Structure 1
Amino acid sequence: MRKIILFALCSAISASAFAQADITEKELKEHLWFLASPKMKGRFPGTAENRKVVSYLTKQFKKSGIQPYQGSYLQGFTAKIRVKKGVTDTPYAKTQNVIGYIEGNDPQLKNEFIVIGAHYDHLGMGGASSKKPDTTAIHYGADDNASGTSALLEIAEKLAANKENLKRSILIIAFGAEEQGLLGSKYFTEHPLVPLSQIKLMINMDMVGRMNSEKHLYMGGAASFDGGMELMKSLGPEVGINPIVIAYDVGGSDHVSFYKKNISVLGFHTGGHPQYHTPEDDRKLINIPGEKLVCEYIYKAMVSVANRSGAILFVPEKKN
């Protein structure tokens, strides 16, 4: 009887581990429903709700077996808050980047890093960056960027579960204060935990929750690393999406901070919509099955690049 019970227990643990190693719609929705809930009040930097999100992200990293880098998951910094025209006060808020680490297995290549990131903050009750600046209401930021943060957690969990298959190391970064001017990513690139020369690619997800019926996934920067255009086009049929692969046009999210440091980047999104930066960016509008496809696509891209035997070379844009 003891052997039977022990076998059943081991089977249950094994099944649980397998489930954690897979990207699921259930977990994506759970993350997103928490991040974009009314209780989080728009995740504004410096607020109690923002700190609750930081705690949630840290717990999820620990749960997934993702380690801190150099002993801490948190990289604190002070963010200058944007204000409306005519306002002379200059408010500041203390906030954090949340950083996890998965060490690669190749003796040499593990000293090179792929960064995957998304910003977790949003606009709180509105303010200077709102498309409805005279409206005081919770800006839920479901697509912007609870969607990217949820995807980050799910992709990171799968990477951690399959870490024995990764040659290069991975840094997982949930950036703070992106909406205040890419401040979290700017701080990281000015105070990097590893030499910037060892970061070979930065992948960023900002607004990846509204995939359309044509299953389009847009990305900028694919030509910023050698072979990037070909790789990103080839992965579409494997996952069942139609990638819109753009050579450069890197956009305006956290990956730009890395690109300015001559680091190759990929910036992902599923397109704009009228709810952008308004209180109507609600979690009920998120296409969870579509976001799962986004996660699967980016996971495949990460594994391919992390395991490339040759060098990953930055390719600057040639302007006429």
Structure 2
Amino acid sequence: MDIIKNLALFFLIFFCVFAEGFSQEAITEKELESHIQFLTADSLAGRFPGTKANQQVVNYLVNDFKSNNIPTLIQEFEAKLRKDTTSVTTWNVLGLLEGKDSILKKEVIILGAHYDHLGKKRDSIYHGADDNASGTAALLEIAEKIVAHKNEIKRSVIFIAFGAEEQGLLGSQFFVENPIVPIKNIKLMINMDMLGSLNEKSHVYMGGAGTFPGGEKLMKKLGKPNHVNPVVHAGSVDGSDHVSFYKKGISVLGIHTGGNENYHKPTDTIETLNISGEVNVANYIYQAIMEIATSEWKLKFIPQD
């Protein structure tokens, strides 16, 4: 059964876009910056789960997917907060592009990034520009570029903005326990968490490249044409939402540009980011997805120590 026919069975809210629109092919510094400016605005007070600001972010993500003619869905779940164990309602936001190959479209690649952050503590807003407004902005821009080439993809692609990652990977855990497609059909999950601090050596770090055939070679090969210097690990699967997928026997890539002195501090603001460098990182990730989604690349899970 086609993926799209299954979707309504799994979601609380289903948005589908029918109007014709235009998806921009280029990933631009201007658009990345615009997304990050919205996500780090003082009015959103650090994008904490369960707040009105959280709802505003969800609306923004839905509207962006819809504006690019991506069928868009919301997955609602309860998140138990670390600070006091109370539960709040929050959401994952998903967009779906179905592949064009009658057989390979049953295989799914997921591109994800968490949109939440730490909120406000005392009088300080934890803006979370690098962590993870940068990844969320890249998710939207890469999705838009893939839509511009949607007729080329053989495999299906699901874009997911996860909620409540900072509370313990809760959004991704909820998704893998409540997937919209059979879990066995998810062949690769690429996670973006902190893409805004590309250094002078253009290092892009990743773990999990050995969890699928040819992963290490592919990610190294794509570095130079995209003006980045990949630091590729076969294993090292830890730290963010891709872990939830790895635990289910799904191949993963966890991609970031390294830690910095602003991590989990109020000083993680847009002014500290290398947004022009993020354009290169986003194009690098886009190219990796297209290499796999448009081909008959043999995908299987390879566990790592």
TM-score by length of 1: 0.87
CA distance in 2, matches of 1:240, 1:138: 34
Which residue of the partner structure matches residue 43 of structure 1? 47
* The one of 231, 236, 254 aligned to 2:241: 254
Which residue of the partner structure matches residue 62 of structure 1? 66
The DSSP-based 3-state class of the residue aligned with 1:125 is strand
CA distance in 1, matches of 2:130, 2:272: 8
In the alignment of these two chains, the number of paired residues is: 285
The DSSP-based 3-state class of the residue aligned with 1:95 is strand
Give a deviation string over 1:6-41, Cα, whole Å, max 9, x none.
Answer: xxxxxxxxxx947x1211111000000000111110
* The one of 270, 273, 280 aligned to 1:293: 280
**Higher CA-based Rg:** 1
CA distance in 2, matches of 1:137, 1:189: 34
Q: Is residue 22–residue 68 contact of structure 2 (8 Å, CA) maintained in 1?
A: no
Unpaired runs of 5+ in structure 2?
Answer: 1-20
CA distance in 2, matches of 1:118, 1:21: 20
Which residue of the partner structure matches residue 267 of structure 1? 254
Which residue of the partner structure matches residue 156 of structure 1? 143
1:99 aligns with 2:94: yes
The equivalences for 1:1-320 within 5 A come to 17=22, 20-68=24-72, 73-83=73-83, 89-126=84-121, 136-317=123-304, 319=305
Give a deviation string over 1:155-179, Cα, whole Å, max 9, x none.
Answer: 0000111100100000000000000
CA distance in 1, matches of 2:297, 2:253: 19
CA distance in 2, matches of 1:299, 1:274: 28
Which residue of the partner structure matches residue 3 of structure 2? none
TM-score by length of 2: 0.91
Q: Which amino acid aligns with 2:58?
A: V
CA distance in 2, matches of 1:240, 1:251: 26
CA distance in 1, matches of 2:297, 2:282: 25
% identity of equivalent residues: 55
CA distance in 2, matches of 1:195, 1:17: 31
CA distance in 2, matches of 1:310, 1:36: 38
CA RMSD of aligned residues (A): 1.1
CA distance in 2, matches of 1:251, 1:27: 30
Question: Residue 308 of structure 1: CA displacement?
Answer: 2.7
CA distance in 1, matches of 2:97, 2:148: 10
Structure with more strand by fraction? 2
